[in-house]
Structure 1
Amino acid sequence: MEQGSRQELPPPAPFYRSIFSEIEEVGWEHLVRSEEDLSSLSFRILDKNGRAHILEIALPRNYPESAPSIAADVPYICDIEWSKSSKLKNIVQQFREHLQKLQEFWSIMEDIDRNLWILDPKQPSLATSYRQICLGNDCSLLLNVYARNAWSLPECRFFGPDSTVNLLRNNWRKNSRKWTKDKHFHENLAILLETTLPRPHTVSNKNDEQVDCGICYAQYLPVDDEFGDNSGSAPDYTCENLSCSRAFHTVCLRDWLRSITTTRQSFDVLFGNCPYCSEPVAVKVSKCS
């Protein structure tokens, strides 16, 4: 009874020194959060196309004898190859290689979002592999793209009036062999369904919504000596999450981050989360601070 209720002792000092050394190898600028006992670490990793990913690494009590577990906002996670001599940098490298394999999948999902009228989800994450697409005439198509083989014929399900849905379903079956990697994803869909697909519904208004700063709700900062070189400037920082892309004045974002208790400062950079989508953001501290 007493043994079961006994609290676990914190890791010894050499454990902390070892983990700090491994974080240094990865780069402190990539660390976005960590538990006090270093049982969990989160790193921000950019893929080759600039997409930001948060890699969460959970360290077991007997690390590095036992392999860590990882989680990330991806359609499927990679299997980590691990040995007693492995380090955090090896996990990050394997995760980068995994991201490389997923580039085609994300390019296809972006092609769908850019060219078709998406009903659901409104703000898809990088792990989301489905899209519900408006086909017109009260019909829609639920697509599931296979992340491991993104260019294969997707799984689909039709919704709408039976007469129209039956025609679309028959066209899909009849033309399925015409699916090819030589055409864009949305072009393949139009060929298989033998119909013109509606374009995005609100694309013309999207840029207008992003003109103002997401914090002060103004397009330009006041002309005031208080803002120095930023006086009268337009938003100059954009959230890197493609589903958000909210614009901010760096000055406003910096002040907002300072008001949040979870914000972390490393040297002259503030690390925190976007006020709208909670994706990581980072801004430099002003020289006059």
Structure 2
Amino acid sequence: MNKAQCLRNVLESKEFNTLPIFLKGVASLIDGDESIKLESISSYLVDSQFLSELKDPIHGVDFAFGDSLRDVKCTLKDEESRLHELYITYEGVKKLKITSGDIPYAPFLDQCFSNVEELVGAFFRHVRSLQSYFYELENIDNNCVILDPIKPTFKDNFRNIRIDDKTWLYVEVTLDGYPSNMHLIGQSEVWQGKLQNGILNWDHDKNIVENITSIFDLNDHSISYKSLSEAIKPCDAEVKDDIICGICFCSELPDNLSVPQPLCQNLNCDVHFHKSCLFQWLVACEGGRPPSFGIINGSCPTCLQPISCSNNN
């Protein structure tokens, strides 16, 4: 309720039928308004030590204020000139809290810090420990067609790589820069044997992209390998825009930014599905009973061939 409406209520109320009561009501209205102002002003106040710490230059680090002096963006440049961001909130004297960032989770992100130098030091150490992780993800993004995440960042530790029109390769990268949980999505009969042999004969002297290229002979399938053809680079965005889910008929969901995947194993089925949509569809077809171990089996909504889906993204 705004101040004008509050004043109107005081003027029209039968409770304020004498001058002393009326003046008391107006005074309480003014006092309430002042307390709101003071609370609003105090939310922007910071101590001088915090400001002086931000003014002191730190090599490779830049600071920028947000909506108030309490909200600060910290940008750090690593050894390879990559930029990494943390958003900091000043919660009180010697109490700095990290609210968000574009780096993988680490325990220090949940800590409170007493000063800027302490926080930046923890940020530096974490970024320095992730150089192999950054290198592998950056190399994948620069050389392969990434279908998911839609806008990959270093915070996302996985990539869905296009192998062909109906097959994707899912790979996670550990914080040490090693591949993990690598598997195929879609009609993978042609590629499954190659992947199994490739994992058994993984060359640890090569990076992830070099191993993937060797396993799937991507030199012979340049549609999946960006650096071999300049013409394929814009295809990344086009493919993402064209893929729609056969259940919700959308490319993206409000609560899930992943794109529809070729989850049906039928070679003649070209329909993609959001994993969450397919999982809910199959559960509903089974009477709504939650599946054991998080995996549901049923029939493809399009071709009616056997299909399975897990509730893990």
TM range (shorter): 0.5 to 0.7
Partner of 1:124 in structure 2? 152
- Give the TM-score normalised by the residue count of structure 1: 0.55
Q: 1:81 to 1:134 in 2, by over 3 A?
A: closer
Say yes or no: does 1:150 pair with 2:177.
yes
- Give the TM-score normalised by the residue count of structure 2: 0.52
Task: Kindly state the Cα deviation for residue 50 of structure 1 after the two structures are TM-superposed.
Answer: 0.8
Mapped partners of 2:202, 2:232: distance in 1: 31
Say yes or no: does 1:110 pair with 2:141.
no
- Paired residues for 1:201-212 under 5 Å: 204=230
Q: 1:50 to 1:78 in 2, by over 3 A?
A: farther
RMSD of aligned Cα (Å): 3.8
Q: Secondary structure at the match of 2:104?
A: coil
Deviations along 1:201-253, whole A, 9 cap, x unmatched?
89525999xxxxxxxxxxxxxxxxxxxxxxxxxxxxxxxxxxxxxxxxxxxxx
Partner of 2:186 in structure 1? 160
Which residue among 76, 80, 98 is the counterpart of 1:49? 80
What is the letter of the counterpart of residue 154 of structure 1?
S
Q: Which of 136-145 and 90-99 deviates more?
A: 136-145
Q: Which of 86-95 and 175-184 deviates more?
A: 175-184
Task: Kindly state the Cα deviation for residue 166 of structure 1 after the two structures are TM-superposed.
Answer: 3.6
Partner of 1:16 in structure 2? 47
Q: Which of 177-186 and 95-104 deviates more?
A: 177-186
More helix by proportion, 1 or 2? Answer: 2
Conserved? CA contact 2:168–2:185, under 8 Å? yes
Conserved? CA contact 1:22–1:89, under 8 Å? yes
Q: 1:174 to 1:81 in 2, by over 3 A?
A: same
Partner of 1:63 in structure 2? 93
Q: Percent identity?
A: 19
Mapped partners of 1:53, 1:73: distance in 2: 6
User: What 5-or-longer segments of structure 1 have no aligned partner?
Assistant: 209-289
Structure number with higher relative contact order (C-alpha < 8 Å, ≥ 6 residues apart)? 1
Conserved? CA contact 2:146–2:162, under 8 Å? yes
Which residue among 151, 168, 174 is the counterpart of 1:140? 168
User: What 5-or-longer segments of structure 2 have no aligned partner?
Assistant: 1-27, 235-313
Partner of 1:40 in structure 2? 71
Q: 1:15 to 1:186 in 2, by over 3 A?
A: closer
- The structure with more radius of gyration: 2
- Paired residues for 1:92-111 under 5 Å: 92-111=120-139
Partner of 1:74 in structure 2? 103
Mapped partners of 2:103, 2:63: distance in 1: 19
Conserved? CA contact 1:26–1:89, under 8 Å? no
What is the letter of the counterpart of residue 63 of structure 1?
V
Q: 1:97 to 1:186 in 2, by over 3 A?
A: same
The number of residue pairs the alignment matches comes to: 198
What is the letter of the counterpart of residue 167 of structure 2?
C
Partner of 1:30 in structure 2? 62
Task: Kindly state the Cα deviation for residue 51 of structure 1 after the two structures are TM-superposed.
Answer: 1.2
Mapped partners of 1:59, 1:81: distance in 2: 14
Deviations along 1:166-190, whole A, 9 cap, x unmatched?
4533443344232243112122224
Task: Kindly state the Cα deviation for residue 21 of structure 1 after the two structures are TM-superposed.
Answer: 0.9
What is the letter of the counterpart of residue 181 of structure 1?
H
Q: 1:83 to 1:191 in 2, by over 3 A?
A: closer
Conserved? CA contact 2:102–2:155, under 8 Å? yes
Conserved? CA contact 1:141–1:159, under 8 Å? yes
